[in-house]
Structure 1
């Protein structure tokens, strides 16, 4: 467990900024305590500083996880967000997509969102912007990337992909081995 280097921090914050923009400040400067990001076995964890200090007493080989896993660095040093970060992305997300109840299950199986399954989309969502996907009951289901801007969505046909799938809560069941 170690602090992120400047390069790793920059890469991770650029990825987070696609989804929450200036909300990154709110993640770090919280009124309920000091929180930080730590790297352990190529995974980035978001953890309270007091818990992190207690974890220093545990041997690195015996430490499995610490705090909430936000994602991991690939071998090519790219950062990939995990679905475990969804609870922290959803409150601060700038751009949102709501799916119809009939399309929720297909999204939770790992498929992209089609225009036919689109319930609503945040106004002025740019193309290729990170979006958090919600059900029509405002329950966060996952996140992805907008394939079309809001203006393009209005003109597209029902079988057009509106948002590319990146992660969903169904991964807790499908990929439970790789999430820790």
Structure 2
């Protein structure tokens, strides 16, 4: 487990900023306990410094994970967020989308959010912006990227895609062997 390099840190913060904007500062500057980002086996973990210091006593080959896995780097060096980061994205999300009850299951099966399933959307959401997808009961279901801005969304037909699917909580069941 090692600290992130400068280019890795930049890639992680750019991806997080796409979803939570300037609230990235709240991940680093916490009031309760200092947290940091660590890289282990290509995965980026968000962990408290106290837990990180305790993990030093475990040999690297024996250490499976520590803290919350935010995502991983692909072989080409791109950073991809995992569904395990949803708690932090939902907490600090800048833009949000709520889906109707009839649109929850299709989204949880990995489909995009259609205009017919859209319940509400945050005002002034730009095109190609990262959003957190909620149920109408304010339960975070996953996250994705908008296909159109809020203004353009109002003009779409019911079968048009509003949010491109990135990750959803159904992945805990579908991809349980690869999330580790």
TM over 0.5: yes
User: 1:126-137, aligned counterparts within 5 Å?
Assistant: 126-137=126-137
1:116 partnered with 2:87:
no
* 1:25-51 superposed Cα distances (whole Å, 9 cap, x missing partner): 101111111000000000000000000
Gaps of 5+ in 2: none
Q: Secondary structure at the match of 1:71?
A: strand
Q: Give 1:2's aligned residue.
A: 2
1:62 partnered with 2:57:
no
Q: Secondary structure at the match of 1:156?
A: coil
- Alignment TM-score, normalising by the size of structure 2: 0.99
1:42 partnered with 2:42:
yes
Between the aligned partners of 2:57 and 2:93, the Cα distance in structure 1 is 36
Between the aligned partners of 1:52 and 1:129, the Cα distance in structure 2 is 33
- Alignment TM-score, normalising by the size of structure 1: 0.99
CA RMSD of aligned residues (A): 0.4
Q: Give 2:85's aligned residue.
A: 85
* 1:37-77 superposed Cα distances (whole Å, 9 cap, x missing partner): 00000000000000000001101000000000000000000
Gaps of 5+ in 1: none
Between the aligned partners of 1:177 and 1:72, the Cα distance in structure 2 is 15
Between the aligned partners of 1:26 and 1:136, the Cα distance in structure 2 is 26
* 1:106-137 superposed Cα distances (whole Å, 9 cap, x missing partner): 00000000000000000000000000000000
User: 1:1-180, aligned counterparts within 5 Å?
Assistant: 1-180=1-180
Aligned length: 180
